[in-house]
Amino acid sequence: MPCTRSGLAFCRELRHLRSMDEFWPYRVLFVCLGNICRSPMAEATFRALVAAEGLSQRIRTDSAATGPWHVGKPPDGRAQSEMRRRGRDMSDLRARQVRRQDFDRFDLILAMDMDNLDDLWRMAGAEYRDKVRLFLDFAEQPGTKEVPDPYYGGADGFAHALDLIEQASEGLLAHIRKEAGLA
């Protein structure tokens, strides 16, 4: 680092970091078809868990869609209602599509269903394939491999999807703690 004004500021900043993990947080991306139902519920549920554990500086979350239709929109009202019923707010989230750079930037990219997984594997190519997994791989006893798409159904579908998401979030956090060496 050359001895410039910005270089000095950068070094001063570094001294305040307790470990390099804080400088390079672990990054997780949740992905579904539209990024308005399942993946924002997963992102907001997991980020609430991470915050409750005091790990928000160490684990960063985001979500994205494989499809383009809802880019820029907030989460579906039914998803927001079910989340609010369980004490979580996700009104700040906006849909975006998966980008090529995501495969480099994120440590783990989690698909809600097999179609998402296939689409992501196709985009990832061999280099990034191992980063892409099914979200429910991390649930202890999900009884299914996929978070079912609730978009065309009723409120029950959102509640069921969220039950699965909550289970998988616990397992995911345990996995990341081990992988990233977080206490």
Catalytic residues: 32, 38, 149
Kind plus residue range of the DSSP H or E element containing 123: helix 114-128
> For residue 172, which of 85, 86, 61 has the smallest C-alpha distance?
61
> For residue 145, which of 118, 170, 121, 112 has the smallest C-alpha distance?
112
Kindly tell me which of 33 and 168 has the beta carbon lying closer to ligand 4NP: 33
Kindly tell me which of 58 and 80 has the beta carbon lying closer to ligand 4NP: 80
Q: What is the chain's Cα-based Rg?
A: 17
Binding-residue pattern over the window 125 to 164 for ligand 4NP, x denoting contact by CB under 6 A: ------------------------x-x-------------
Return the ∠ at Cα 171 (arms to 167 and 172), rounded to 5°.
110
Binding segment for ligand 4NP (CB under 6 A), chosen from 2-10, 28-36, 43-51, 163-171, is 28-36
Instruction: Give the three-state DSSP class for 26.
Output: strand
For ligand 4NP, the binding residues in 31-60 under the rule CB under 6 A are 32-38
Kind plus residue range of the DSSP H or E element containing 30: strand 26-32
Per CB under 6 A, the list member of 69, 129, 144, 145 interacting with ligand 4NP is 69
Between strands 108-111 and 26-32, the pairing is parallel
**Least distance (Å) from ligand 4NP to the CB of residue 58?**
27
Closest residue to ligand 4NP: CB criterion: 34
Kindly tell me which of 14 and 84 has the beta carbon lying closer to ligand 4NP: 84
Q: Which residues pair with 83 in a beta bridge?
A: none
Rule CB under 6 A: which residues touch ligand 4NP?
32-38, 69, 149, 151
